[in-house]
Structure 1
Amino acid sequence: MRIAIITAMEEEMAPFRSQSQIKVKTQVGKVIIEEVIYRGEPLILVESGIGKVNAAIATTLLIERYKPDLIINSGSAGAFAAGLSVGDVIVATQYVYGDVDATCFGYEPGQVPQMPAKYELNAAWLDMARQTATAADLPYFLDFGLVLTLDSFMSESERVEGIKSTFPSVKVSDMEGLGIVQAAAQYGIPVLAVKAVSDIAGHGSVTANSFDDNLDVAAEHAAHYTKLLVQQIQSIYVKSEAVVE
Structure 2
Amino acid sequence: MPQEVEIIKNNIKNLKETKIGGCKFFTGTILSHKVTLTQSGIGKVAATIGTTILIENFKPDFIINTGSAGSLKDHFCIGDVVVSTNVTHHDVDLTAFGYAKGQCAQLPIHYSADKNLIDQLKSVLAQENQNYHFGLLCSGDSFVASEHATLKIKKDFPEAIAVDMEAAAIAQTCFMFDVPFVVLRAISDGANNDSSMTFEEFLPIASKNSSKIILMLLENL
TM-score by length of 2: 0.96
Question: Residue type of the partner of 1:157?
Answer: E
Q: Which residue of 2 aligns with 1:181?
A: 171
Give the number of the structure whose alpha-carbon radius of gyration is greater.
1
Task: Supply the RMSD in Å over aligned alpha carbons.
Answer: 1.2
Quote the offset at 1:24 in angstroms. 2.2
Among candidates 220, 229, 244, match of residue 217 of structure 2: 229
The whole-number CA distance in structure 2 between the counterparts of 1:59 and 1:207 is 27
SS of the residue 1:77 aligns to = strand
Paired residue type of 2:46:
N
Q: CA-to-partner distance for each residue in 1:17-49, whole Å, 9 max, x for gaps?
A: 222224321102331011122235321111111
Contact 1:22–1:34 (CA<8 Å) still a contact in 2?
A: no
AA in 2 matched with 1:118: H
- In structure 2, the partner of 1:213 is 201
Counterpart for residue 91 of structure 2: 99
**1:12 aligned to which of 4, 20, 33:** 4
Residue 129 (structure 1) shift:
1.5
Instruction: Tell me if 1:165 matches 2:155.
Output: yes
Q: Answer yes or no: is the 8 Å Cα contact 1:101–1:110 preserved in 2.
A: yes
- How big is each residue's C-alpha offset from its partner over 1:129-173, in whole Å with a ceiling of 9 and x where there is no partner? 212222x123x3111001001111111111211211111111101
Q: Do structure 1's residue 39 and structure 2's residue 27 form an aligned pair?
A: no
Structure 1: runs of 5+ lacking an equivalent? 1-8, 234-245
- Give the whole-Å Cα distance in 2 for the aligned partners of 1:217 and 1:22: 27
Q: Which residue of 2 aligns with 1:238?
A: none
| Partners of 1:198 and 1:218 within 8 A in 2 | yes
Among 177, 193, 203, which residue is 2:183 paired with?
A: 193
**1:30 lines up with 2:22 in the alignment:** yes
Supply the AA of the counterpart residue of 1:189: V
Helix, strand or coil: the match of 2:41? coil
Paired position in structure 2 for 1:153: 143
Q: 1: CA distance between counterparts of 2:128 and 2:25?
A: 32
CA-CA distance at 1:231 after TM superposition: 1.3
List 4+ stretches of structure 1 deviating above 6 A: none
Alignment match of 1:144 (pick from 134, 141, 145):
134
Q: Which residue of 2 aligns with 1:78?
A: 70
